[in-house]
Amino acid sequence: MDDSADILRILVPFDCSQAGRLALQATAEFEWQMPVKIFVLTVEEDIGARAQPVNAGSELSQWISAFPPAIKIHPLHVTGRFVDSVLDVVDTHHIDLIVVGTRGARGWDGVFMGSHAERIVRVAPVPVLSIQQRPHFARTAEILVPVDIHSDPAELRVCLSRYSQMLDSRFHLLYIDTDAPGIGRASAQQLEEYAQKLALSHCVTSVVIAEDITEAILKFAAQIGADMIAMGTLGNPDPAHMFRPSITADVVNHARIPVLTCPLRQVLISH
C-alpha cells in the first residue's frame, strides 16, 4: 500500500527555524484530499556550516505529535549539507512533493534569496510548495497559474493534474503580454487553445498587458483572491544558476499565499 502511486509522498525539511516550523504546521493542518506519507528531515550540517540546534530532536517530536493520527510520519536524520541532503532524500524515498516555509521579503530585498528554501525551489527535481504564512483554504481553492502560451503544456498538465487532487480547485490561467496591446486579442485566443490542451476542469483564462511580470502575477492573485499560485521553474543544479534573476523566485519571495513550483524542462515563465 505504501508504494502505491495513489499515495502522495511529502518531504518537509526541518531546520528549527521559524520557516521550518511554519512548514510543519501547514503540513499538519492541511486537509489532504488524498492519502499522504510524510517524511520529516532534520540535517546535522557539516563542520563549517550552520550548526544544528541541540534541541532539534525534542522540538521535532512536539511538532510531529501535532499531526493527525491517521497520517503516517517518518522522521529522518542525516549528516551533510542541507540542500544536498534534501535532494538525496528526494531520490532515495521517491518524494513527490517538498513543503518548505519561507520568511519572504522585507521590501524588495528579501531574506528568501540565498536561503535553504530558495535553493530547494531552484534545484528540486519535484514540485515544491512554499509557504510564507499560515494558509487558509476555502472549500474550493482558487489557484492562479501563470503560463507561457508558447511553451509545451504537456509537463504542466502532468504536474497540475496530480496536485489538483490535493484541493477542490478552480484554476485561473494567466498570460502576461509584455508586447504591444495590439496583439492582445490573438493572445487571448492562444491562451484558450493552451487551456484546452491542459484539460483542467473549472478553468478560466485571462490576459493581462504589463511590463513587469512578477508584479502583474502578484496583483492579479490579489485581485481574484487566489489561495495559491502554481507556476513552472527551470531546475538547474549549477550553482551559477542561483545568481540569475528568476521570476519564479521573486514570486515565491513576495507572495503572501502558498506557491507551488513545478520543475519543467521547458520553462513557463522566462528566467
> Does the pLDDT value for residue 158 go beyond 80?
yes
pLDDT score, position 263:
85
pLDDT at 86: 94
Which pLDDT tens digit goes with each residue over 95-122? 999 999 887 654 445 555 557 888 888 8
Which pLDDT score, from 0 to 100, does residue 21 have? Answer: 84
Domains of the chain: 8-101 (3.40.50.620), 140-251 (3.40.50.620)
Highest averaged pLDDT of the listed ranges 11-15, 55-59, 66-70, 131-135 = 11-15
Give CA–CA dist 89/2, Å, rounded.
16
Q: Give the residues across from 76 on adjacent strands.
A: 41
Which pLDDT score, from 0 to 100, does residue 244 have?
Answer: 46
Query: 3-class DSSP state for residue 17?
Result: coil
Q: Are 160 and 198 in contact (CB under 8 A)?
A: yes
Q: Model confidence over 180-226: pLDDT tens digits?
A: 555 566 788 889 999 999 888 788 999 998 989 999 999 999 999 99
Helices (H) and strands (E) in the chain, counts: 8, 12
B/e letters for 69-86, b = 16+ CB within 10 Å, e = fewer, are: eebebeebebeebbbbbb
The distance in angstroms from the start CA to the end CA of the chain is 39
CA distance 84 to 158: 26
The set of residues, in sequence order, having a beta carbon less than 8 Å from that of 43 and lying 6+ positions away, is 13, 15, 52, 77, 78, 79, 80, 81, 82, 85, 86
